[in-house]
Amino acid sequence: MKPSLALVATIVAVLALGAASLSAQPPAPAAKPNPRVTLDTSKGKIVVELFPAKAPLTVANFLQYVKAGFYDGVIFHRVMPDFMIQTGGFTPDMKQKPTRGQIKNESTNGLHNERGTLSMARLTEPHTASSQFFINLKDNGGLDHSPRGWGYTVFGKVVEGMDVVDAIATVRTTTKGQHGDVPVEPVIIKKASMVAATPK
- Tell me the pLDDT tens digit for each residue of 144-192: 999 999 999 999 999 999 999 999 999 999 999 999 999 999 999 999 9
CB contact set of 67 (below 8 Å; sequence gap of 6+): 194
Over residues 38-65, mean pLDDT: 98
In the chain the beta strands, taken as DSSP E runs, fall at 36-41, 44-50, 76-80, 84-87, 117-120, 133-136, 154-160, 173-176, 179-183, 189-195
What is the value of pTM for the model shown?
A: 0.84
**Backbone φ, ψ for residue 20 (5° rounding):** -65, -40
pLDDT grade, residue 118 (50/70/90)? very high
**Where do the structural domains in the chain lie, given as residue ranges?**
36-195
Over residues 50-72, mean pLDDT: 98
Over residues 54-70, mean pLDDT: 98
Q: 36-195 in CATH: which number?
A: 2.40.100.10
